[in-house]
């Protein structure tokens, strides 16, 4: 069985061809700059050279046609016929309250995804473009939608509701939804396997730290709380997003600077976070290079780690302890400095890092807690595509 996993963004389509039984990625790649000059496809088949193609790629349909032609090509392909693809799994960012699991895509499901556009105006329209293009190109192949929000639908109401008039929840669906669900699910499942314990007996804190960052409290295999909210703006400090903020600040700045809603939105999402505080970069590697010489870069690093530490403390409280803390995402997997400065002085919680293990550069999964640490500390590279392929296979197998 082969599953094509698609992650359609506004100007890009990322893809992986996965054999979910063997849990093997046969090829992966990305089409970038869709609809712009210099559009290109980068394709990497397993154990073979990466190739790059440029061309006029005006929309998502053309992008997915490019993907299909390279997947079928003699020199760089991994299939001989379209029908070798058993199913297509689509990443969909927002499923609102309608979806707490992955689903087979039907016309009703498409309507619901469209209904959620108001919650994710940048993402859901692009996800829908990918779905519609695939339906046109691979009309007889079943398609499954896997939602970023679905895993967090298990949050209890006291964790997801905001302290606003209840009517705004009822009328407009204003609540915490949470994101990065497939990543939190994947790494918490892997953590349970590494710890050799059933996941319904574990309390795990998962830190997904990338350009966008979120943390989740996962109790007995279910998401109990997470830091991203109604949108991916809330919570931790991020590359260019502010994270938590007094809502009155927004009103005050708009008033003082005579800013429009659009301008304010841009400031909060594109010019804040590590970028805004450091005045240098949103990229953690660039920040870490100058920690000793650039005061603002150091400040952004300190704010990032301090806020993460506070959330870890809060989630220990919410779950009455934690068995494991997991780090994933570009920063979580690679930045020993962030892990060190986040977890220092947390012995009260039974959290102690082994600095030698933390500093050792090696890829893959590893345990990095000290020998007296009551809480296991794990680095687990995430694999959202594999979760999408697994869910897609499970749903399609039920059909047969």
Residue 272 contacts residue 239 (beta carbons within 8 Å) = no
Judged by CB under 6 A, does residue 329 bind ligand ADP? yes
Task: Report the residue number, 65 or 341, with the smaller CB distance to ligand ADP.
Answer: 341
- Binding segment for ligand ADP among 7-15, 161-169, 224-232, 327-335 (CB under 6 A)? 327-335
Q: Which is nearer to ligand ADP, 66 or 327 (CB)?
A: 327
Please count the residues of this chain forming the interface with ligand ADP, following the rule CB under 6 A.
13
* C-alpha atoms less than 13 angstroms from C-alpha of 1 in its C-beta half-sphere: 19
Residue 41: strand pairing partners: 31, 53
Quick one: 250 or 280, whose CB is closer to ligand ADP?
A: 280
Question: CB 335 → ligand ADP: shortest distance, Å?
Answer: 4
Query: What six digits make up the tokens of 274?
Result: 């590590």
One residue of 235, 239, 243, 273 binding ligand ADP per CB under 6 A: 239
- 3-state SS track over 163-205: CCCHHHHHHHCCCCCCCCHHHHHHHHHHHHHHHCCCHHHCEEE
Q: Residue 35 — left, alpha, or beta (φ > 0 → left; ψ -120 to 50 → alpha)?
A: left
Alpha helices (H) along the chain: 60-72, 107-115, 124-137, 157-160, 166-172, 181-195, 247-256, 261-270, 273-278, 284-289, 295-319, 329-334, 336-343, 355-359, 384-399
The answer to whether 335 touches 316, Cβ cutoff 8 Å, is: no
Q: Which of 7, 242, 300, 334 binds ligand ADP (CB under 6 A)?
A: 334
Using CB under 6 A, which of 12, 135, 211, 269 touches ligand ADP? 211
Using CB under 6 A, which residues numbered 131 to 160 contact ligand ADP? none
State which of residues 335, 342, 358, 373 lies at the interface with ligand ADP (CB under 6 A).
Answer: 335
Segment interacting with ligand ADP (CB under 6 A) among 80-88, 115-123, 187-195, 208-216: 208-216
Given CA atoms 313, 151, 227, 12 in this order, what sign does their dihedral have? Answer: positive
Question: Which burial class, exposed, middle or buried, applies to 162 when counting CB atoms under 10 A from its CB (0-12, 13-18, 19+)?
Answer: middle
∠ Cα 374 378 379 (to 5°): 160
Contacting ligand ADP (CB under 6 A), which of 29, 45, 181, 212? 212
By the 8 A CB rule, do 354 and 370 touch?
A: yes
Nearer to ligand ADP, 78 or 387 (CB): 387
List active site positions.
148
Nearest to ligand ADP by Cβ — which residue?
A: 330
Q: Is 331 in the site for ligand ADP (CB under 6 A)?
A: yes
* Binding window for ligand ADP (CB under 6 A); candidates: 89-97, 277-285, 295-303, 367-375: 277-285
* 227 binds ligand ADP, rule: CB under 6 A: no
Least separation in angstroms between residue 111's CB and ligand ADP is: 29
Nearest approach in angstroms of CB 259 to ligand ADP is: 27
The values of phi and psi at residue 13, to 5°, are -135, 115
210 contributes a contact to ligand ADP by CB under 6 A: yes
Among 88, 216, 218, 284, indicate the residue that binds ligand ADP (CB under 6 A): 284
**CA nearest 242: which of 206, 215, 213, 209?**
213
Residue 308 interacts with ligand ADP (CB under 6 A): yes or no: no
List interacting residues with ligand ADP (CB under 6 A): 210-212, 239, 283-285, 288, 329-331, 334-335
């Amino acid at each position: 069985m082969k599953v094509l996993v698609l992650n359609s963004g506004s100007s890009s389509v990322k893809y992986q061809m996965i054999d979910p039984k063997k849990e093997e990625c046969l090829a992966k790649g990305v089409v970038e700059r869709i609809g712009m000059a210099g559009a290109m496809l980068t394709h990497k088949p397993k154990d073979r050279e990466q190739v790059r193609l440029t061309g006029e790629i005006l929309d998502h349909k053309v992008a997915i046609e490019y993907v299909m032609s390279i997947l079928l090509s003699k020199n760089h392909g991994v299939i001989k016929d379209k029908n070798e693809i058993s199913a297509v799994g689509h990443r969909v960012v927002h499923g609102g309250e309608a979806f707490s699991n992955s689903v087979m895509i039907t016309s009703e499901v498409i309507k619901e995804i469209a209904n959620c556009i108001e919650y994710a105006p940048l993402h859901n329209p692009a996800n829908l473009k990918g779905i519609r293009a695939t339906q046109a190109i691979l009309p007889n192949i079943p398609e499954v939608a896997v939602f970023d929000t679905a895993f967090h639908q298990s949050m209890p109401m006291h964790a997801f509701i905001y302290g606003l008039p209840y009517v705004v929840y009822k009328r407009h669906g204003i609540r915490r939804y949470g994101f990065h669900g497939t990543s939190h699910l994947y790494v918490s499942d892997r953590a349970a396997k590494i710890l050799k314990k059933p996941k319904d007996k574990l309390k795990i804190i998962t830190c997904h730290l990338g350009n966008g960052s979120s943390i989740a409290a996962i109790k007995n295999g279910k998401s109990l709380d997470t830091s991203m909210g109604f949108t991916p703006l809330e919570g931790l400090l991020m590359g260019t997003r502010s994270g938590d903020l007094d809502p009155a600040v927004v009103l005050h700045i708009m008033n003082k600077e005579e800013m429009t809603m659009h301008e304010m939105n841009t400031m909060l999402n594109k010019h804040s976070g590590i970028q805004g505080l450091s005045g240098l970069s949103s990229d953690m590697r660039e920040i870490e290079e100058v920690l000793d010489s650039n005061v603002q870069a150091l400040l952004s690093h300190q704010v990032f780690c301090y806020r993460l530490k506070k959330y870890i403390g809060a989630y220990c409280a919410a779950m009455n302890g934690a068995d494991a803390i997991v780090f994933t995402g570009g920063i979580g997997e690679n930045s020993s400095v962030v892990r060190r400065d986040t977890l220092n002085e947390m012995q009260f919680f039974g959290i102690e890092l082994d600095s030698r293990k933390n500093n050792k550069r090696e890829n893959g999964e590893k345990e990095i807690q000290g020998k007296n640490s009551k809480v296991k500390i794990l680095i687990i590279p995430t694999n959202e595509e594999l979760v999408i392929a697994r869910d897609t296979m499970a749903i399609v197998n039920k059909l047969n």
